[in-house]
Structure 1
Amino acid sequence: MNAPRGAGPDATYDGRMSGTAPTHRTPTGPQRTSTGTVLAAIAVDAVLVVVFAALGRGSHSETLDASGIWATAWPFLVGLAAGWVVIRGWRHPLAVLPTGVVVWVATLALGMLLRLATGAGTALAFVIVATLTLGVLLVGWRGAAALVRRLRARAGAPHAR
């Protein structure tokens, strides 16, 4: 069976379009994505959204205390959580497509809608900067992780003579 891009060299899928958790071949048989990997991916996403909020506040000389960062971050964290649920990110937590892209779009869209609903700023310049920054952060780390996995797999593969 074929693995989607970014899933790693040993990943296989059952062939359904919606997919199931990737399985990795081990000496004892297939193994689903570990809970630790899923929790780590969620944590990385959440930390990056908080970093995004802190960077934004810092660039506007706003306070960088916990309550200020929370006030900026919470709408995007809600969007992040919704994106994970909609795409069922636990199935393919490290995949750039579809997980990374859907999580990015949901984080941005719902975050902006919640900011709009609560009277927080949604100026066009902010939307553009947020789109680019969240895209680089939420999709970018998954791309970097996929590259590292590929390089490690290539380094571990026996060389043809």
Structure 2
Amino acid sequence: MRYLPALVLDAVLVLVFAAIGRASHNEDPLGFLLTAWPFLVALVVGHALAALVPARPRRPWSLGWGVIVWIVTVTGGMLLRVATGDTAETPFIIVATLVLGAFLLGWRLITLLVRRFRPPTDARPAESDAGEH
């Protein structure tokens, strides 16, 4: 269940990628699911494969997890597009690789930096001066 938030965020970012892409080509942005579905299927496969990698600890917000998800999402998405009769022209492959890389790795990098540079929390309860006179 701890993997679900990362999967949902990644799926939303794939949908955003598809909507932006369609809008940038003056296509009906509401048809973004036609563009997104191969990448969403590949995204789920990417998360499943990342969960099987024996690296420890398994954290879906880690860059290692993200690299697996990114590579599988782009590769699988392109293969599914071609297998179902759609196109995968070189410019689209390049743009999809770069944008999905920025999206799927970007939030993980931000998470890593926030976790690394967050001030340490003091686990000890605050001492109270109440009753000391």
Aligned length: 118
- Using the alignment, how far apart are the partners of 1:104 and 1:47 within structure 2? 14
Residue 81 of structure 1, aligned match among 9, 25, 44: 44
Deviations 1:87-113 (A, max 9, x none): 117x3211101x100000000001000
- Using the alignment, how far apart are the partners of 1:61 and 1:148 within structure 2? 37
Check if 1:62 corresponds to 2:30.
no
- Using the alignment, how far apart are the partners of 2:76 and 2:5 within structure 1? 23
- TM-score (norm: length of structure 2): 0.83
1:38 deviates by: 2.0
Q: In the alignment, residue 45 of structure 1 is paired with which amino acid?
A: D
Q: Highest CA radius of gyration, 1 or 2?
A: 2
1:157 deviates by: 5.9
Please name the residue that 2:115 is paired with.
149
User: 3-state DSSP class of the match of 2:60?
Assistant: coil
Q: In the alignment, residue 136 of structure 1 is paired with which amino acid?
A: A
Structure 1 ranges of 4+ moved more than 4 A: none
1:73 deviates by: 0.3
Unaligned runs of 5+ in 2: 53-57, 123-133
Check if 1:100 corresponds to 2:63.
no
Q: In the alignment, residue 115 of structure 2 is paired with which amino acid?
A: R
- Using the alignment, how far apart are the partners of 1:157 and 1:73 within structure 2? 41
Residue 12 of structure 2, aligned match among 34, 37, 47: 47
- Using the alignment, how far apart are the partners of 1:42 and 1:114 within structure 2? 19
Q: % of aligned pairs identical?
A: 50
- TM-score (norm: length of structure 1): 0.69
- Using the alignment, how far apart are the partners of 1:55 and 1:64 within structure 2? 8
Please name the residue that 2:89 is paired with.
123
Deviations 1:68-126 (A, max 9, x none): 1111000000110111111117x3211101x1000000000010001001111211000
Check if 1:112 corresponds to 2:78.
yes
Please name the residue that 2:129 is paired with.
none
1:41 deviates by: 0.7
Please name the residue that 1:20 is paired with.
none
Q: In the alignment, residue 61 of structure 1 is paired with which amino acid?
A: N
- Structure (1 or 2) with the greater strand fraction: 1
1:148 deviates by: 0.8
Q: In the alignment, residue 156 of structure 1 is paired with which amino acid?
A: P
